[in-house]
A and B are shown apart, each in its own frame.
Chain A
């Protein structure tokens, strides 16, 4: 059974059909790409999957459970975490704290324990610190743990966002243009990081990307969106050689 199973997903804004009859099936452990020209509706699909928008029609199933129309928090608890096209870090907080917020629902102590700094507070905070540092190490950010998130260079901010998403211990990770604004070196490094995440965390990843080198380099399967509709779907090589796809990207 597919980890993510989406059928007949539709949403309209006013008269505009932003996403129409969208479907996707992602197997566990797959690295899947969602591509398409600007304004094709890719981020809208992410927003539908994460409950930012409620679909007008369609069903979203994660690991067999119907999550259609649920709230963002519930969907995150069900196992979908995401990053954003325009980086959304907690800028006034340290790098470590950004990840620790991601761990919020997995490590608990009462508010009173936090205020009184009970032994339970100390123990759980210590565990959280350790887990957060472990995640930061994967992304080579552990040296900057105490820095303010806003002081990180751009590429590291992108990585921190991924680390924070992973901290929520998701089944499916959605990356919205992870390579946006990166130079070729950073992009190559990012490709390695994405592969590493998949292997090390046994993660299923759906990513939106414009960088064709990245897409063809790491994605195993692709869905191409154009004007809110699926233009092509299937194995990466086949999709990228599809004349329709080439036309959509390069014009007639």
Chain B
């Protein structure tokens, strides 16, 4: 019972950090302390946090290295954006965006299952390489996908927009490498933060449930987990699919923050997947709160260093290496334990407990 309260308290601290950060940003915004450049960074920030947290479910909780996370984000982005384009006139923006988020999550989840079934038979380095390949395949598929609509219905091609055979009134929605143009700008920082909180709620609660324990048991010792009757395939697939579907949600948010959505190596390539992995590793594998913090810090850092112009990526790299080296060094860990929020809170609580007894 006591332990239960402890984990609940830990989760509350994580939610509180996000909410407080949100309030601070909003206050700064109202008082005009946020540059337009920073303002443009707020939604991407939310996207990276969601991606990092969802990838941590696979890397930290399931213990498998996946390098194809950007692929699922890409699928979600295109599915959600496609839906919004189709229903642009038919629905109020709030409902449309909600449905787009659900559709992006569902389509990414389907891809998660389809890719997870063959891929999760592999382990370690092999799994990492194959997920990397699948991520690239998804991105490249999106580049040759043409979908248009006219009064007779949807037309689909993998060749070019002419092959769609649209009537003069018809409109190309997904136009191969040009992607989708004109996605409504439904995303906002507030929605992003709400989605972060929902993601955290789902993943933190999952970890402390029966399913989460099964997933972590597989991570810690697959053979022992099997020997006590844990269905390894089922739980691996569950974690992988949930992670993919949340990445899909991040993708929908991404698509609705830009007017043009294209599947470039820059947004959905393996560079992106690796960047998300960097957030996860730096924040601590399996540490959900760490992922949130490291995603925020590492996204803001290049912008804060903008004044240094050409040297900024060099410094970013050096800071990254330094943080990797020192963040998990024994001294840093003991320092954090000594001055951790939990410790400070419990120190305050101890006299109260005595008083109660």
Chain A residues with CB under 8 Å of chain B are 50, 52, 72-73, 76-77, 81-82, 84, 88-94, 96-97, 100-102, 104-105, 107-109, 111, 114-117, 121, 124-126, 128-129, 145-146, 164-165, 167-168
Contact = CB atoms under 8 A, between A and B. Distances in A.
B286 A104 contact: no
Interface string B215-246: 01101110111111111100000100000000
A22 B145 CA distance: 61
Contact of A93 (B201, B209, B220): B220
Contact of A96 (B3, B211, B214, B286): B3
Interface in B179-212: 201-202, 205-206, 209-212
Given A77-B229, A114-B209, 12 more contacts: A73-B229, A73-B230, A89-B224, A92-B220, A104-B230, A107-B210, A109-B209, A111-B238, A114-B205, A114-B206, A126-B1, A146-B3
7 contacts: A73-B226, A77-B229, A81-B228, A90-B220, A115-B201, A116-B205, A165-B227
Given A104-B230, A115-B205, A145 B213 contact: no
B212 A92 contact: no
A104 B228 contact: yes
Given A100-B213, A111-B211, A145-B3, A90 B229 contact: no
B209 A115 contact: yes
B30 interface: no
A97 B213 contact: yes
Nearest to A174: B227
Contacts of B224: 84, 88-90, 164
Nearest to B211: A111
Nearest to B205: A115
Contacts of B201: 115
Interface string B262-286: 0000000000000000000000001
A114 B212 CA distance: 9
Interface of B: 1-4, 201-202, 205-206, 209-214, 216-217, 219-221, 223-232, 238, 286
B214 A101 contact: yes
A96 B3 CA distance: 10
Given A96-B3, A100-B213, A115-B209, A76 B227 contact: yes
Nearest to A117: B205
A114 B210 contact: yes
Contacts, number: 103
Chain B: interface secondary structure?
helix
Given A73-B230, A115-B205, A125 B217 contact: no
Contacts of A88: 221, 223-224, 227
Contacts of A165: 227-228
Contacts of B2: 146
A89 B227 contact: no
B229 A93 contact: no
Q: Give me the 9 closest cross-chain CB pairs, A-B, nearest first.
A: A114-B209, A76-B229, A90-B220, A88-B224, A72-B226, A101-B217, A88-B221, A115-B205, A105-B229
Contact of A125 (B4, B214, B216): B4
Contacts of B231: 73
A91 B220 contact: yes
Contacts of A73: 226, 229-232
A114 B221 contact: no
Contacts of A128: 210
Nearest to A81: B228
A111 to B, nearest CB: 5
Most buried by A among B3, B202, B206, B217: B217
Contacts of B286: 92
A20 to B, nearest CB: 25
Contacts of A82: 227
Contacts of B212: 114
Given A89-B220, A93-B213, A129-B1, A101 B228 contact: yes
Nearest to B219: A92
Contacts of B206: 111, 114-115
Nearest to B230: A104
A151 to B, nearest CB: 14
Contacts of B216: 90, 92-93, 97
Contacts of A89: 220-221, 224
Contacts of A109: 209-210
A167 B228 contact: yes
Nearest to A146: B3
B54 to A, nearest CB: 14
B221 to A, nearest CB: 5
Contact of B211 (A72, A114, A126, A145): A114
A70 B13 CA distance: 46
Contacts of B229: 73, 76-77, 104-105, 168
A136 to B, nearest CB: 13
A101 B219 CA distance: 13
Given A104-B228, A107-B210, A94 B3 contact: yes
Nearest to A98: B217
B57 to A, nearest CB: 12
B225 to A, nearest CB: 7
Most buried by B among A50, A115, A129, A146: A115
Nearest to A105: B229
A249 B141 CA distance: 65
A84 B3 CA distance: 28
Contact of A104 (B3, B205, B214, B223): B214
B1 to A, nearest CB: 7
